[in-house]
Amino acid sequence: MKYKLVSFDLMGSLIKSDEHIWNVIHDKLGVDPEERKNAYNDFKEGRISYQDWVAHNVNLWAKKGATKDDLMDAVAELELQEGALETLQRLKNNHCLIILSGGLNFVIEKIFRQHQTLFDHVFINKLVFGEGGLIAGGKATPYDMDKKADSLRLVAEQEGIDISQCVFVGNNKNDIEVAKIAGLSIAFNSKSDELSEVCNVAVNSDSLVSILDYILVE
């Protein structure tokens, strides 16, 4: 089999959404758009780190008294991508499966309850909840944005798989660097022209199953 490891972005790839998960939750909780925009600009322009940006966003929710139940309710309308489970089940027996995401762990718990049996590795931001479900803190993944490439290299080395045998499936500009190093990179319903140009294949489809034509090859 040509490919032995398949890695996925979460939002827009495995979960059906045109919006970044942070914005989905900010909107549901009524967080000031200007405050969150300023923090993102500070991160993009290098005035704060990614870890600081995650902490800032989590603190905005904590200041509103948001609980785990509130956050779960905020993402309740999200759905798995059409064909996601079938795709993963068909890949599982012969491939190492990974999530590489700048999203949040409780989203997987809410929307993707089978994730523990399907995925071998998950790289994602984590929220911690305390008494009464109140937000007690968060831990930023060190593997978002251009660092997604580092996580793919790390797992490939741990699993003894050559990077040329690794697949990445994503849909946005924070997937560009990891797409560059994967043996096969697939832009699925891409929101970024630059990502589509970098990837080996661009797939526009209502079902994730469409990517299997490119992965399940000898």
Whole-number pLDDT of residue 123 = 95
Whole-number pLDDT of residue 1 = 78
In this structure, are residues 74 and 146 in contact, taking their beta carbons and an 8 Å threshold?
Answer: no
Whole-number pLDDT of residue 217 = 87
Whole-number pLDDT of residue 166 = 98
Spell out the domain ranges in the chain: 5-16+79-215, 21-74
Strand bridging mode 135-139 / 121-129? antiparallel
Q: For residue 129, which of 78, 77, 66 has the smallest C-alpha distance?
A: 66
The tokens of 184 are what? 């096969």
pLDDT in tens, 171-190: 999 999 999 999 999 999 99
Whole-number pLDDT of residue 133 = 94
Whole-number pLDDT of residue 16 = 92
Whole-number pLDDT of residue 159 = 96
In this structure, are residues 33 and 27 in contact, taking their beta carbons and an 8 Å threshold?
Answer: no
User: Which pTM value belongs to this model?
Assistant: 0.93
5-16+79-215 is a CATH 3.40.50.1000 domain = yes
The tokens of 68 are what? 């785990």
Low-confidence ranges of the chain (pLDDT < 50): none
Strand order in the sheet with 135-139: 135-139, 121-129, 96-104, 5-8, 166-170, 184-188, 201-203
